Amino acid sequence: MMSRFNTLRQVTSRKHIARPRQRRFHIFAALSVLGLCLGLLSADLNAGSAVITDKDIRARLALMREQKAALLTLSDMMAGRRIFHPKPAKAARRVLIENTRKIPRYFAKQQMEANSHAEPEIWTRWQDFETRAQAARQAAKQINAGSVNGLRRSLPAMVQACHNCHQTYRTTPNRAITH
């Protein structure tokens, strides 16, 4: 009986030795699969996006992306795709007011890259560009973020202001809401 107990003890001790190796292998395999998935997802998210080397152009694009996110928030609330809450609606309105104020400053330097989508006419027709940016700021100030009905009445003017500028001063005007 004693020899059988020793044999059982040896078997169980071997299992305990093997388990940490198996666990390490499983953890390594899981992390490898996760890394591969994240790599593929990252490649998919960056597909079609160009590398912009100029810091001023990157700042312009970031400004426009912030405006797009704010407009999407408001338009989703207006269309019922997102539950309306006054706090985030007012925050999105503030982003639009602040960012439309910054547009002339962010475009002041005539920086061009192939994938920036800015037309050179921005700088040859600077006064008109500034006027359009001011019109967008006024439209942002007029957004009524207090209710869904307020958004329905006031948000289309903001979207139109964005489209008016992009149709003239963007190389590939967006089909979506804006930017």
Tens digit of pLDDT at every position of the chain (179 positions): 555 555 555 555 555 555 666 666 655 554 454 444 444 444 433 444 567 788 999 999 999 999 999 999 999 999 999 999 999 999 999 999 999 999 999 999 888 877 788 899 999 999 999 999 999 999 999 999 999 999 999 999 999 999 999 999 998 755 544 44
**Which pTM was predicted?**
0.68
CATH architecture of residue range(s) 55-169: Up-down Bundle (1.20)
- In this structure, the dihedral spanned by the alpha carbons of residues 140, 142, 146 and 152, taken in order and rounded to 10 degrees, is -90
What six digits make up the tokens of 144?
């009524």
Rounded to whole angstroms, how far apart are CA atoms 130 and 14? 77
Q: Where do the domains of the chain lie?
A: 1-49, 55-169
The DSSP output letter for 69 is H
- Quote the CA–CA distance of 179 and 163 in Å, as a whole number: 8
52, 70, 141 from 77: Cα distances, Å: 32, 11, 18
Distance CA 10, CA 8 (A): 5
The CA distance from 179 to 175, in Å, is 9
SS (H, E, C) 104-168: HHHCCCCCCCCCCCECCHHHHCHHHHHHHHHHHHHHHHCCCCCCHHHHHHHHHHHHHHHHHHHHH
